[in-house]
Chain A
């Protein structure tokens, strides 16, 4: 993958400095982001240094202190925004049951229902291009969390991740099922292929996964985010698969969503009960962050859905 297009002054200075290996010579990186798009593409680029990197950036820059300092300053802005919007309410006991209820009762708009009934082929392909940013590295941000957990929650996360990673069979790796779906649809399947096209809301969703996954301090929020993601996947996946059948999309892509109907019916229970339930039982002080993570996942998906439905109905 090559570095994406800049979206403002800060990302332009950052990407240029990364590509020319001149990060330390750039006081320009003290710039404020032009807008949220500039902030989030900058953050996304710095996070990607920790996943797969860029063909046009030296691998050594991953732990460069200047880059980390800039990343931290942007992360603070993003985390403050998320906490002010999606802190959520404290949940009564029993925590796992109440978390499940709270996620179930969340009132958001649904892209899946639109895809099922109304979307045309172009709209579904646009949806897939945007979702590809996360799905080609599906489950990876959660993997950062594993070494930060004690025995019970750690084993529980592994039980879920093992299924995400196809139980070791590359053909069943969820991210690879999506890659094959993209190829069958005639879309580009390389990692990050459509990053220049995605709206701000998609960058925010991807950056939230990485923000929560990469900070030990935020492990509760990362697992709450996972729980909400899994618990709002099974029914929407069925709707999306239905819409794709209606429009005659290739079987490989339908298979990806079909797989998630069944897999996420399991993962939802594991994430809420054996993962978040066990985590909070062991460390009650993490309860508020679990809720924050769950509300962040639901809130950012809602921001994405409002954006897409607004554009598609215009």
Chain B
């Protein structure tokens, strides 16, 4: 790969944190509700504890490490 080519994933799993989604998407939550992304990059909750499902609200940082994704 040329030095001027960059890896730029559409979906990024953050260690111990959310899943980042680049671009426009519609997410179906576990109850069948649909949520459209509204920003260039969105963070989807992976720890299950966010109060703003399906989006990350930073709660993963205050739960025990073993409960983090």
Contact surface of A with B, Cβ cutoff 8 Å: 97, 104, 151-152, 155, 159, 162-163, 167, 234-235, 238, 261-266, 268-270, 273
Asked if B25 lies at the interface with its beta carbon under 8 angstroms from chain A, I say no
- Interface residues of chain A: helix, strand, loop or mixed (majority): helix
The CA-CA distance from A263 to B42 in the complex, in Å, is 8
A22 to B16 CA separation, bound complex (whole angstroms): 57
- A265 in contact with B6 (CB, 8 Å): no
Report Cα–Cα, A97/B59, bound state, in Å: 17
Assess the B17–A269 pair: CB atoms within 8 A. yes
- A269 and B44 CA atoms in complex are apart in Å by 12
The reply to whether A235 and B42 contact each other, CB–CB distance below 8 Å, is: no
Q: For this complex, into which size category does the number of interface residues on chain B fall? A: 20 to 34
Residue of A97, A152, A162, A262 touching B40 (CB-CB under 8 A): A162
| A-chain residues with CB within 8 Å of residue B40 when the two chains form the complex | 159, 162-163, 167
Closest beta carbon of chain A to B64's beta carbon, Å: 13
CB-CB under 8 A from B20, the residues of chain A are 266, 269-270
Q: Which residues of B contact A104 (CB under 8 A)?
A: 61
Chain B contact residues, CB within 8 Å of chain A:
4, 6, 12, 14-15, 17-18, 20, 39-43, 51-52, 55-59, 61-62
Chain A contacts for B15, CB-based, 8 A: 97
User: B61 and A262: CB pair below 8 A?
Assistant: no
Shortest C-beta distance, B69 to chain A (Å), equals: 13
Pull 24 A–B residue pairs with CB atoms less than 8 Å apart, ordered by A: A104-B61, A159-B40, A159-B41, A162-B40, A163-B40, A167-B40, A235-B58, A235-B61, A238-B51, A238-B58, A262-B39, A262-B43, A262-B52, A262-B55, A263-B39, A265-B18, A265-B57, A265-B58, A266-B41, A266-B43, A266-B56, A268-B58, A269-B14, A273-B12
CB-nearest residue of chain A to B51: A238
- A-side contacts of B52, CB under 8 Å: 261-262
Of A151, A238, A265, which is within 8 A of B43 by CB? A265
Contacts A163-B41, A238-B57, A262-B52 hold; do A269 and B18 have CB atoms under 8 A apart? yes
Q: How far is the CB of A206 from chain B (nearest CB, A)?
A: 25
